Amino acid sequence: MSDSFEQLGFVVKTLRKQRGWSQSQLAEMAGLDRTTLGMLERNDYTDIGIRKVQRVLELLGKKLLVANAGLPTLDDLLAAQTQGEAHE
């Protein structure tokens, strides 16, 4: 699991507390149950959909981003395999 994903719960909890909101208040604003928000803050993602996470983050002035992880894509791997076969 990436560091930023592991930090998600910490960030949500920190931002919520900075605003002076309880878990119940933020959960209500996001249309979630308080226990679901607590799970998110504890990095327990067993039953939390991406849309729920997105709603919470938007209320806290943040958003989810997709970023290049620096790993090769399937196309990269296939191209490297093809090049390797051509050199044999």
User: In this structure, what token pair is assigned to residue 87?
Assistant: 């050199």
Residues of the chain with pLDDT under 50: 1
Which helix (H) or strand (E) segment is 14 a member of? helix 8-18
pTM of structure: 0.72
Which helix (H) or strand (E) segment is 40 a member of? helix 34-41
User: In this structure, what token pair is assigned to residue 19?
Assistant: 């605003």
Helix-then-strand count for the chain, H and E:
6, 0
| Helical ranges in the chain per DSSP H | 3-6, 8-18, 23-30, 34-41, 50-59, 74-86
Residue 31 pLDDT: 96
Residue 3 pLDDT: 61
